[in-house]
Amino acid sequence: MKRREFLVSAAGAALLSTVPVGAIRAFAQSAAGVITFGQSTAVLTLDPAHGAFTGYPGGYEAALLLFDRLLDFDGDMKIVPQLAQSFAMSEDLKSCELKVRAGVTFHDGTPCDAAAIKFNIERMMNKEINTTNRPLWDPIAGADIVDETTLVIRALAPFAQLPNTLAHGSGAIVSPAAIEKSGEDGFAQNPVGAGPYMVEAFNAGQELTLKTYDGYWGEKPGAAGVVFRFIAEPATRINALTTGAVDVIDSVPVQLVGQLASNADVEVLRKPGLRPIGLAINLTRPALADVKVRKAFNLAVPVATIAEKVFFGYAKAPDSPLAFDAIGHKTVGESVFDQEQAKALLAEAGYTAGSDGLLEKDGAKLTISLYTPEGLFPGDVAVTEIVAASLKQVGVDAQITKIEKGAYWDHLRQDKANLAWDLAMFGFNPSNASGTYHLASLFKSNAADSTKPDVWNIGRYRNAEVDELLKSADSAPAEADRLEALGKAQELVWADAPYLWLQINENVSAVRKPVSGVSLMPIVFTNLRAATKA
């Protein structure tokens, strides 16, 4: 063969190989009975300890199918039994007695009994092994086996949220034998649980393939398997759903929902999240220590308009420091937009307009440094710009500083001397859905205001009454009393306005026929545990 002929035929062969032989749509479709979930975040590790399931929320979504927990959240974030048949908190809230199901086995065939559960509780308590979710596990003192199916979990002090910890994703019960086999570092890539699905193949960061576990104690799942496929690009996820290559997608950008809404084969799921977005106010600044100024800020910003125009209606104005579906949420106020009243409040606080129209007091201008990350919260920069413009309308000079998202937490959690911001965007996602945990993380007084905040009280809010109420919300024996204390705490915090409350975003996922039973939990998770594919 001459060189030319060779080249020509090689070229032809190369071209042919790129032609999709018989490439019809069917080949891109997923197999019957197997649900493919196009996730916006990759599943990287599947271990409740060692940094928990990553990436967030992708890893947790997979863990929901792979692992059973002692307790579970239902669609309304109410706590219901799972591996435990029943549970009862003791009167003093210092222990919880659980009746564990008999005959449950892990995917490796080893028994999931009281001893295995004790091993798990102690593993999560161990700070060396479990570095994350510490506020959930630190209060726990230990687990005692009463008999084969009875277990008592003890807390160091009254801990009403103990069931929330057990129902939280990090309460996933793993196989002790598998830990023994894979080692503490190897388990995250070779996870073994007792959930309805088990791992068939795991290619971290790309694809996780689950199949049904035949030995599952409960109802058989509605699909032969579930594939978690990482598709980072939103447009690609939507295309994949449109072509039928995947059955479920999460994190649909609100500006692209329209593309799916007109598709008769697709159902769009939406649910307000648990993370209220707001601007934390730096209370160490004298000007901002005045509650009138903070209230004026809240009145000056059109939150309902932001929800409507920036988020296309896929967001709501808050009515409490907690999100609507947080456990213990109580409506304690409403978001009001009234710039005249804002101006009146600022005047009451002693501010008068200078020659340039901007407010000043004793010759000092009311200049606000507004911090926002770029791309960390939904529409963060756009919302911050609206806030700055709104504040300017009432005479407050607000300057925006945009921070690269990786560095943002450092700027927020600073010791007092290095706090550069006056207002900073923040949103807290209480992963165990507990309103008490949420409020305590954000508004419980710091041990010392000069050093870095203990948890997320970055604005140095300090109200002894709120501290007291949060304590009883955590430890009052009767649930009604706990809820009442939490409700009162929400009222006080809302009235003190330590935040400029902004919107609560909705999470949007989409499901394609014939898949059904997919639910969207308030805590970002798209849950496929009850999903079926005919």
Partner 1 sequence: MIGFLAKRLATIPLVVLGVVTILFIIFKSVPGDEAAFVAGATATQAEIEAVRVQLGLDRPLIEQYVQHVSGLIVGDFGYSTTFRGNPLSHIVNRLPATLALAAAAIGLTILVGIPAGVVAATWRNRMPDYLISLTVVGLLAIPNFWLGMLLIAWLSVDLGLLPSFGASGPASLVIPTLALAARLIALVARMTRGVVIEELRKDYVRTARAKGLSKELVIRRHVLRNVMIPTITVIGLQAGYLLGGSVVIERLCAWPGIGDLLLTAVSVRDYTLVQAIVLIFVVSFLIINIAVEVIYRFINPRLRYA
**Cβ-based nearer residue to partner 1, 3 or 363:** 3
Can residue 13 be called a binding residue for partner 1 (CB under 8 A)? no
Kind and range of the H or E run holding 493: helix 479-496
CA separation for the pair 133, 25 (Å, rounded):
44
**Residue in 361, 414, 35 with CA at minimum distance from that of residue 353:** 361
For position 485 contacting partner 1 by CB under 8 A, the verdict is no
Q: Which residue from 1, 15, 264, 417 is in contact with partner 1, where contact means CB under 8 A? A: 15
When binding is defined by CB under 8 A, the residue of 35, 44, 117, 153 that contacts partner 1 is 44
Cβ distance to partner 1 smaller for residue 20 or 357:
20
Kindly identify the residues of this chain, within the stretch 309-328, that bind partner 1 according to CB under 8 A.
none
Phi and psi at residue 276, to the nearest 5°: -75, 130
Q: Which of 90, 105, 110, 239 binds partner 1 (CB under 8 A)?
A: 239
User: Interface with partner 1 includes 27 (CB under 8 A)?
Assistant: yes
For position 186 contacting partner 1 by CB under 8 A, the verdict is yes
The piece of 17-25, 217-225, 265-273, 526-534 that touches partner 1 (CB under 8 A) is 17-25
Q: Is 2 in the site for partner 1 (CB under 8 A)?
A: no
Q: Interface with partner 1 includes 190 (CB under 8 A)?
A: no
User: Could you tell me which of 233, 234, 194 has the C-alpha nearest to residue 214?
Assistant: 194
Closest CA to 280 of 342, 345, 405, 370: 370
Cβ atoms of residues 494 and 488 within 8 Å:
no
Binding to partner 1 by residue 233, rule CB under 8 A?
A: yes
Q: Which of 1, 2, 4, 357 binds partner 1 (CB under 8 A)?
A: 4
Q: Could you give the maximum distance between any two Cα atoms of the chain, in Å?
A: 95
- Pick the closest to residue 105 from 211, 195, 230, 31 (CA basis): 195
Q: What is the footprint of partner 1 within residues 407-466 (CB under 8 A)?
A: 407-410, 413, 428-429, 431, 441, 452-456
Q: Between 26 and 480, whose beta carbon lies closer to partner 1?
A: 26
**Taking CB under 8 A as the rule, does residue 516 contact partner 1?**
no
Q: Give the interface size with partner 1 as a residue count (CB under 8 A).
A: 67
| Residue of 9, 85, 236, 255 that binds partner 1 (CB under 8 A) | 236
Stretches 145-153, 199-207, 262-270, 498-506: which one binds partner 1 (CB under 8 A)? 199-207
Query: Least Å distance between CB 170 and partner 1?
Result: 11
Residue 203 binds to partner 1 (criterion: CB under 8 A): yes
Closest contact distance (angstroms) between CB of 148 and partner 1 is 33
25 near partner 1 (CB under 8 A):
yes
- Specify whether the CB–CB gap between 396 and 431 falls below 8 A: no
Contact with partner 1 (CB under 8 A) among 52, 89, 210, 493: 52
What's the rounded Cα separation, in Å, for the pair 60 and 57?
5
Q: How far is Cα 275 from Cα 490, in angstroms, rounded to an integer?
A: 15
Helix, strand and coil percent figures for the chain, each rounded to 5: 35, 25, 40
Given 34, 56, 154, 513, the residue binding partner 1 (CB under 8 A): 56
C-alpha 22: how far from its chain's center? 43
**Of the listed pieces 18-26, 104-112, 340-348, 353-361, which binds partner 1 according to CB under 8 A?**
18-26
CA angle 136, 137, 140 (to 5 degrees): 120
Shortest distance, CB of residue 9 to partner 1, whole angstroms? 13
Interface map 68-87 toward partner 1 (x if CB under 8 A): --------------------
Sequence-separated (6 or more) residues with CB below 8 Å from residue 356? none
Quickly list DSSP for 160-193. TTHHHHHHSGGGB---HHHHHHHHHHHGGGS---
Nearest to 394, CA basis, from 359, 428, 433: 359
201 binds partner 1, rule: CB under 8 A: no
Q: Name the strand (E) or helix (H) holding 279.
A: strand 266-281
Nearer to partner 1, 429 or 532 (CB): 429
> Residues with Cβ < 8 Å from 19, sequence gap 6 or more?
none
- Residue 153: CB minimum distance to partner 1, A: 21
* Residues 503/307, Cβ–Cβ less than 8 Å: yes
Which residues of this chain interact with partner 1, rule CB under 8 A? 4, 11, 14-15, 17-18, 20, 23-25, 27-28, 38, 42, 44-45, 47, 50-52, 54-56, 127-128, 131-135, 185-186, 188-189, 203-207, 229-233, 235-236, 239-240, 242-243, 245, 404, 406-410, 413, 428-429, 431, 441, 452-456
